[in-house]
Structure formats: C-alpha cells, structure tokens
Chains A and B, each alone.
Chain A
Amino acid sequence: MPLVFTVTNTSGAPVTLELLGRTPTADFRVSDSAGRTIWSRLRGQTLLGVLRLFPLDAGKSLSFRQTWHQHTDTESPVPPGEYLIRGVLLTGDRAGLASPPVRLRIGR
C-alpha cells in the first residue's frame, strides 16, 4: 500500500524547520481501532540526534514515500478492520509535525 506524506509551507514567507537528523526524516505510523500503534516505519531504529536547520520556501514541500505491506511490527498480517495512518516529520520537538490521521478499512 503506497503512502505519501507531504509537508507544505502554505505561508507567503520562507520558514526554517528544525529537523531531526542530517536528512529530513519522516515516520509513518499505523494504529488500530483501539489506538495502539501496530506498525511504525522507524520502530527499533537508531537515529542520529543532530538538528538540521532546513529552509523551506513559501509554497514548497517536503514529500516522503513509504509502502506498507499490511503487516504489524512483528511481521504478522493485520486482521480486517479499521486503521488510522499518520505521517510524522521528525523535528526538534519530540511530538514532531504530524499529519491528521487517514482512516483505512481493510476487508477480506
């Protein structure tokens, strides 16, 4: 399942983002109907703790792509049901810059 997460500077002026790592990095997180995160692209990975000062001009975007194979972090296929998916741009703030959740329903 292809996922695309885009962060856009919708203002009329450039901004400087403070991003975790030497290159802009985004996580994709899938949670189940109970709110548990069942899959995260970056789960278990170790990331560099540098903060990059990233200028983003007005109207410009950062995009990240990922394929989710409908498995959990433990490689088990997810059961049918409703899921929420978020993209999270990793920043100097622990919460990051997150997209609103997108609802997904997986059926048989």
Chain B
Amino acid sequence: MRHSRLLVSGFAAAAALGLAGCQDDSGPTSPDAGVPSARVQSSQGADLPSADEFDRKVPGFGGFFLDRAGAPTIYLSRGSSRGPAEQALAGYLSGRGLSTAAVRVLEARYGWKQLQRWQEAATVEALAVPGAVFVDNDETSNRVRIGVQNLSAMGQVRAAVARLGIPDDAVILDRAEPILQVATLQNVVDRPVRAGVQINFPGYLCSVGFNATSGTQKSFITASHCTSTQGGVESTPYWQPLQSVNGTQIATEVADPVYVRNGPGCPRGRKCRYSDASRAAYINGANQALGLIAQTSGANNGSLTITGSFSIKADDCGTRGGCLPVGTTVNKVGRTTGWTSGSITNTCVNTGVSGSNIVQLCQTFVSAGVGGGDSGSDVFQITSGSNVKLAGVLWGGNSGGTQFVFSPFGNVTAELGTLITH
C-alpha cells in the first residue's frame, strides 16, 4: 500500500452541515410544511414599509404601490402632509439614489384601515355568492375591488355590499376569471386515480405505476419496495396523495411475491425476483382510472403540473426481459421528476440493489431523469399522440438521477399474474 502523509490535520472530524428548521414549503404533500411569512423585500437598500407600518406612521394613509414605471405612489387624504410618507420611505429611496421628490401622492377618498374593515366584511358576504372570485383592498385605486365571473353574481354582490352599509363608491366590481388550483403530480387528489400521481404509505411516498384489473379486482401496480416490507404481503394501506391531505384510504396491498434465495440465476447469498412490483386493490373500485396516465406539460422540462392524460392502448410483450430493444425511446411519469424521456441503454441486466442483498433479474436501464419518490412509476412508449404502450414499472436509478431502471411488463405479469391494463 502506498504511504501517504496527510498535510491537513483533523480531517476525520465531521463535515457537519447545519440544517435550519424552516422546511421547504411544498404545500400539502409534505407534513410539517411551514407557512412562509410575507415580507416586501427590496434587493437594494432598506425594505419597503408594510401597509400596517405606513398606516401607523403616515396620517391620512390610504394605500401604497409602485406604479408601472416603478415610482413609489401613496394615497393620502386631502390636507395630509407628504412629510411623514417621505420619512417612512427615506431608506428605500436613498438605497436607489432617489430623492423624496420621486414620491407621487394621490388623493385618498378612504383611509386604509377603513378599507380593510370593509374588505373583511365584504369577504364574508361576497364570497358566499356563487360566481364571486376575490375581494381585495386595492391599494392602486383606494377602493375595495371585488372580482365576479358574471353579471348575475355582480348584482348579488352589489346587493350584499349595500346591506353591509359599505358606500357604493367604495367598491369596484370587475369581471374576473375563476382562480384554479394548479394540480400537480404531488398535490392532486386524483379521483379516479391515474398512473403517475403520488401515493403515500406509512412513512413513505411513491408513485402509482399503472392501473390494472386482476380477475375482477380493480387495482394499481407499484413497486414492491413501495410496501411496508419488500416481498410478502402485509396489507400495506395507501392514501393519495397523502394521508394528512385526504384521510380516506384508497387501496390495500394484496400481491407481492417473496424474494427467493438459490433460485435459477440468483447469485449465492442473495435473494432475487424478476420484478420489483406489487399490486394493491382499490377499496372503492370506482377510483380506478383504468388505462390512464397523468400527463404533464412536456418531457424533461421539470414540470409537475398535470395538463391531461396519456391512454394505454397496448402492453409490451409478455416475455421476460421485454421486447423493447436498446435505443428505444421510453417515458415515465412520476411524482418527483414528472415526465422524463430517454433511450433504453441496456436490457436484461441482473441488477444488485444498493444497500441490500437483493438482485433484480433481467431489468432494463434507461438514460433519463429520476428522483426519490418516482418508484412505482409507469414506463411506456408513446405510439401516437397521447396513445402509449405500457413497458413496465420503474423502481430505481443511479445516485445522479440521470438513469432509471425498470422491471419489464413481462417480468411483472410473470410474478403478479395476468393484468388487464386498458
């Protein structure tokens, strides 16, 4: 062995990494997600005061905004001095090399706090009207602005506002499009459940592989390691997308063959299967979206937003190892990296699983993106438009997230039995 001398002492000390407590705010898909505090943050100089600060410090305050040219603009009631406003904005202005003359003053009809009270009162009544979209204390117009979808809603909202004693002049009614929640592979409560969306079993997240009917039992396929114990049935419960978001259990594990030692082709000291796949039966069969895979806006663009669905029209052959050759372009949709696409690089690879004594026999490797949580994802070939041919179930990848491994459809059916997928 070559002798080396360390010139840096103390290297065996821990390369510690401090972890702050503010968890990434990934919305309803992650437990313990915190709510970020809103703050107007300037990239140059001091922060802008909040509306509440303005209201405390500036007599006659009616609202503040930056106009289209970026000029600081403030509403002040008639007769109010601009001095306190200039003082409140001094740090912000000097950070940008601006003088107090840059502050534009508009005459306020109503005070900020009064508008706040009217907004709160109007919110309760107006948003109860079907077709009402939003209620805003609009700092750019010194009015309460209410968005509605149609004329019928407009009339009802106007009447509700009048009953509250809010001056007609203090309210602006606008036509507005409804605000829709962006559905992603991680947050969507998908009913019926399509392939590719997030599932949760105790302590873990995975993706739905594909919906399948076994005999008459409506089910979905996911990875075997997306069960309480990889190999063997423990009746693992599943929720979609997360138990804390929708607490109604959607399915229960019903099929997950055990891993076998000393079988044909299985290395000594290891245990093997031909697929990392399991089947879970829906509690309510109506939740099965047979043949559908959630589709996002595009391949390899990182988007998780669901824009439509792929339709399974065919399955790969039932032969072990599959029938798609090296060079074939395949796709997957999973909750972490969304829709990724790439070429098959290796087929029928006997693959050791890192950190375990498991070997998955005769698997397929693909050069495409993958991440933690994508396990169980459906792998498919696009045949035309949104029509696809099912290729298998994704279960792993390399540490760099640039290559994934899947169990071919034929391997899955050899172990889980005949499956109707579309």
Contact = CB atoms under 8 A, between A and B. Distances in A.
B398 interface: yes
A98 B7 CA distance: 24
Interface string A1-45: 111111111111111101111110101000000000000101111
Interface of A: 1-16, 18-23, 25, 27, 40, 42-53, 56, 58, 63, 70, 77, 80, 85-87, 89-94, 97-100, 102-108
Given A18-B30, A21-B372, A77-B2, A8 B15 contact: no
A102 B68 CA distance: 48
B12 A2 contact: yes
A24 to B, nearest CB: 10
Contact of A49 (B15, B370, B400): B370
12 contacts: A5-B15, A8-B19, A9-B19, A15-B23, A21-B372, A48-B223, A48-B225, A50-B225, A56-B19, A87-B15, A92-B371, A94-B401
Q: Is the interface of A mostly helix, strand, loop or mixed?
A: strand
Given A4-B15, A50-B372, A106-B7, 7 more contacts: A42-B354, A43-B399, A46-B398, A49-B334, A49-B375, A52-B203, A105-B7
B310 interface: no
A51 B205 contact: yes
Interface in B299-337: 334, 336-337
A46 B354 contact: yes
Contacts of A92: 205, 336, 371-373
Contact of B14 (A46, A63, A107): A63
A5 B352 CA distance: 25
Interface in B383-422: 394-401, 404-405
Contact of B372 (A3, A42, A46, A90): A90
Nearest to A45: B354
B397 A6 contact: no
Contacts of A25: 354-355
A96 B7 CA distance: 30
A44 B352 CA distance: 10
A34 B352 CA distance: 32
B413 to A, nearest CB: 21
Interface centre among B7, B17, B205, B375 (most CB of A within 10 A): B17
B6 A49 contact: no
B179 interface: no
Given A2-B12, A51-B204, A97 B31 contact: no
A27 B398 CA distance: 11
Interface in B7-51: 7-8, 11-23, 30-32
Given A5-B15, A49-B404, A63-B14, A104 B397 contact: no
Nearest to B21: A11
A16 to B, nearest CB: 5
A93 to B, nearest CB: 8
